[in-house]
Amino acid sequence: MIKKIFLIGATAFLLGACTSGDELLYKQKDAPVEERVEDLLSRMTLEEKVGQMRMFHANIGVELGEDGELDLSDKVVKKLKIGVGGIKNPGEHNTPEEAAILNNKLQKYIIENNRLGIPTFFVTESYNGVDAEGCTSFGRPINMAATYNRELVKEVYDAVGREARMRGLHLTHSPEADIMRDPRFGRMSEGFSEDTYLTTQMILSAVTGMQGDYDGLKSTHIGAVTKHFAGYAQVSGGTNFASIQMSPRTLIDEIFPPFKAAVMEANTLGIMASHGDINGVASHANPWLLTEVLRNQWGFEGYVVSDANDIGRLHYFMKVAETPEAAAELGLKASVDLDLYAEDAYALLPAMVEKDPSLMKYIDQSAARILRTKFILGLFDQTYINVEDVKKVVRTPKHLDLAHDADRESIILLKNEGILPLNPNKKMTVALVGPSLREHTKADFQSVLGKNITFVEEQGFELTNRIKGAPSVNSEAKQKAGIKKILNTVKQANVIVLYAGGDEYTSKEAFFTNAIGDRDCIDPIGLQDELIAELKKTGKPVIVALQHRRTLSINAFAEQANAILDCWDLSEQGNLAIAEVIFGKVNPSGKLPVTVPHSIGQLPFHYSMKEINYKKGYLFTKNGPLYPFGFGLSYTNFEYSAMKLSAETMAKDGSISASITVKNTGDMKGKEVVQLYIKDLIGSVVRPMQELKGFEKIELAPGESKVVTFEITPDMLAYTALDMTKTVDAGTIEVRIGSSCADFTALQFEVE
């Protein structure tokens, strides 16, 4: 049953803020946050405290009716009587203005209908911008990493934070700080890269951008909930929910750093725990992880939220708790503060406290963290959105241009046999074809080019039947019929642009029930290899625009295409950027944020594996990657000089600098990502082949040169040694600077 909620005097609340001056300490906006939290907590009942430790999804009954009034289900009304910590995705299917109105009305109802007037935070997700109707659609996180542009990525997430806040939202369960090294995993593109340092830099940009450098949290931006802590993407077999096995050293040196930076440098407001375990210990029941490391070692003061239903799953899925009550106790004592969605976990706490009053101190601790978050977000003081301002912020031309700029810098030129860029002033017919072709592609290309270019298009076939839960690959008969259509279309063309790879159905999150998103093969789905072979037979140049959400072993494309643009999953402006790159209006500057293997049999296969992993290859196959980490071509040429070090030795607590001159020797302006790698030649444990420790993106005009200098500091050299302490060893370090992990100049120095 849905109840129609009529709010008296709502207009004032839609445009204004709460009045101040109440004698209660927690309502005094100038009082210190910790004092406000303590005062409010002291006034709350057990049930009210537990209410703050729970979150539900708006799809159980939160809507804006056609008459503009708030519609709440009986279930929601009941939950809101004692207050609630958060609500997920209210207004996600409404326009931004409607969402702002809905969330204003919803917040007003919540405040007026719980005893102490405690507001609720509203939460979203943000993989392509704000995950809601009518917001700017940006490229995926892995596209952001491909730009290697910290400032640009921060601008993108600043826009995301602003757009979310103007919908009346306060937090996002993003970004992902997981290291993405297994392309079987369907969520690969939700993270930034396979590399610890690159991911860390992107996390810093994303969190500080989204939170408005923390200063924006009270009014203009939203809080970041960095996830999934920790090791989530390292699942066995690449399948969601599978076990996670890794050494403590790998966890500390490679998995923790992005999370640590989110906490200690970017001041992330929240952390989401990982679905998985770490060597058999479920993350949601791991006090070492969530208390000792996160809070005691790193000083995290924010709140920890469960992933969906994962506290209850300690009992019925992980099976580390005998009963639902035991699962709730494990999560509570591990330091999970907020229970996402479940009715079989923290909902049980009031009854549990009657039997075991010692649980009360943990409840007080978690409820206080939720309240603290709400005070930081300004929910008690500047509660409502001015609906008049929504259009000034959400999906503005500025934000659309920003999405376009990020697309331009994220496209990676993997191969070019001299065919690119095409001459936009030469009359020609270009065929836009392939299963990844989407609506508006032809129109987008036409908007970029002049009248000299004629476009024809033919998708041919869909890769799957596009069923959301468990899609199937389309039949060979449908694919072969589609290939015939494509071959017939390209007869009219001088050049072929093949849209291929994958889509949102071929790589996605595998939910707990009725949804599959991981793969046991990373070859392009269906008959795409056959398609490019047939196109090659036409004798016409074939340019591949590769679109995908997981790394693919594109051997046939690499062999037969005349050029390959690796586009991953661009924004809604993506076709414009692809057209601009193909016709030379933009010089590509993206670099690979992952290693591209020849086959799935090479996995695990990231560039920074232990050096001993590179000793042997496999029978009957080419050794090494198809394309190395950090790789990306340009339409111009960059020449690297000999490297110079400021000294031949470095003290363990000192630093030295490494400098190199980069010159544009071509005839087109371009951007280059200058990359710094460190190789520790001898360690107390087996060391990686090399590790990215710095990068700088520079732009050079033809004939222009620039000196790029990196400072090498002890933290770049430190690792977890044999005795499990962070150590900088005496010995030889090799410094590598170049255009990828496989193309560099090197020098050595001694640490003393």
Pairing assessment for the beta strands 281-282 and 277-278 based on DSSP bridges: antiparallel
CA neighbor of 166 nearest in space, from 103, 109, 212: 103
Q: Report how far residue 167's alpha carbon sits from residue 122's, in angstroms, rounded to the nearest whole number.
A: 10
Question: Residue 518: how many CA atoms within 13 Å on its side-chain side?
Answer: 18
Q: Count CB neighbours of 647 within 10 A.
A: 12
Contact 675, 695 (CB under 8 A): yes
Instruction: Say yes or no to pLDDT of 18 above 60.
Output: no
Q: What is the pTM of this model?
A: 0.96
At residue 217, does pLDDT exceed 50?
Answer: yes
Residues whose CB is less than 8 angstroms from the CB of residue 189 and which lie 6 or more positions away in sequence, other chains included: 127, 140, 141, 142, 143, 180, 507, 548, 549, 550, 568, 569
The mean pLDDT value for 480-488 works out to 98
Q: Is 380 helix (H, G, I), strand (E, B) or coil?
A: coil
Q: Which residues, other chains included, contact 363 with Cβ-Cβ below 8 Å and sequence gap of 6+?
A: 46, 49, 50, 53, 332, 349, 353
Calpha distance 735→169 (Å, rounded): 45
User: 């991911």: which residue's tokens?
Assistant: 199
* Sign of CA pseudo-dihedral 104, 109, 115, 120: negative
Q: Which of 375, 378, 269 is nearest to 35 (CA)?
A: 375
Percentage of the residues of the chain whose pLDDT score is greater than 70: 97
pLDDT tens for residues 218-243?
999 999 999 999 999 999 999 999 99
Give the 3-state secondary structure of 44-94.
CCHHHHHHHCEEEEHHHCEEECCCCCEEEEHHHHHHHCCCCCEEECCCCCC
Complete domains list, the chain, with CATH = 2-393 (3.20.20.300), 411-614 (3.40.50.1700), 638-751 (2.60.40.10)
Q: State residue 592's pLDDT score.
A: 98
Is the pLDDT score of 6 beyond 90?
A: no
Three-state SS string over 15-42 comes to HCCCCCCCCCHHHCCCCCHHHHHHHHHH
* Banded pLDDT at 19 (limits 50, 70, 90): very low
Cβ neighbourhood burial of 209 (10 Å; 0-12, 13-18, 19+): buried
Binning pLDDT at 50, 70 and 90, where does residue 3 land?
low
Give the sign of the dihedral formed by CA 315, CA 321, CA 326, CA 327.
Answer: negative
C-alpha gyration radius of the chain:
27
Question: Alpha-carbon distance 683 to 122, whole Å?
Answer: 48
CB 662 within 8 A of CB 640: yes
Band (pLDDT 50/70/90 cuts) for residue 439 is confident
Rounded CA gap, 50 and 52, in Å? 5
Contact in structure between 590 and 564 (CB atoms under 8 Å): no
Torsion of CA 265, 267, 268, 274, to 10 degrees: 60
Percent with pLDDT over 90 in the chain: 95
707: buried, middle or exposed (CB in 10 Å: 19+, 13-18, 0-12)? exposed
For the stretch 621-627, contacts whose Cβ atoms lie closer than 8 Å and that sit 24 or more positions apart, written own/partner, are 622/598, 625/595, 625/596, 625/597, 625/598, 625/742, 626/553, 626/554, 626/555, 626/558, 626/596, 626/597, 626/598, 627/414, 627/558, 627/592, 627/595, 627/596
Reference 498, options 406, 582, 596, 591; nearest CA is: 582
Q: Is residue 14 pLDDT above 80, yes or no?
A: no
The DSSP letter of residue 228 is: E
Neighbours of 118 (CB within 10 A): 24
pLDDT at 12: 36
Q: Nearest-CA neighbor of 478 among 525, 535, 523?
A: 525
Query: Is pLDDT at 17 greater than 80 in this prediction?
Result: no
d(CA 202, CA 221): 18
Helix (H) and strand (E) counts in the chain:
23, 30
- How much helix, strand and coil, in percent to the nearest 5, is found in the chain? 35, 20, 45
C-alpha span between 497 and 433 (Å, rounded): 6
* Confidence label for 11 from pLDDT (cuts 50, 70 and 90): very low
Query: CA 284, 285, 291, 294 torsion: positive or negative?
Result: negative
Residue 746 structure tokens: 């090197």
Residue 101 neighbours by CB under 8 Å, 6+ apart: 14, 64, 68, 387
Q: What is the band of 7 on the pLDDT scale with cuts at 50, 70, 90?
A: low
CA 317 to chain centre: 26
Three-class DSSP category at 205: helix
Residue 501 CA from chain centroid, whole number: 20
Residues 51-81: pLDDT tens digits?
Answer: 999 999 999 999 999 999 999 999 999 999 9
Query: Which residue has 């049999």 as its token pair?
Result: 601
Maximum distance among all Cα pairs of the chain, rounded to whole angstroms: 82
Average pLDDT, the chain: 95
Q: At what angle do helices 150-166 and 96-112 cross, to 10 degrees?
A: 60
Average of pLDDT values for 473-502?
A: 97
CA 446 to chain centre: 32
Strand partners, 711: 657
Question: DSSP state, 594?
Answer: S
CA distances to 70, 73, 379, 495, 534 from 115, rounded to whole Å, are 20, 20, 16, 69, 70
**C-alpha span between 299 and 296 (Å, rounded):** 5
Q: Rounded distance, CA 129 to CA 157, Å?
A: 8
Q: How far apart are the first and last CA of the chain?
A: 74
The letter for the amino acid at 310 is D
- Looking at residue 2, its pLDDT comes to 52
State how far the alpha carbon of 510 is from the alpha carbons of 2, 17, 225, 241, 464, in Å: 32, 42, 21, 9, 16
* 100-130 tens-digit pLDDT: 999 999 999 999 999 999 999 999 999 999 9
Q: Name residue 329's amino acid.
A: E
Q: pLDDT digits over 591-604, tens only?
A: 999 999 999 999 99
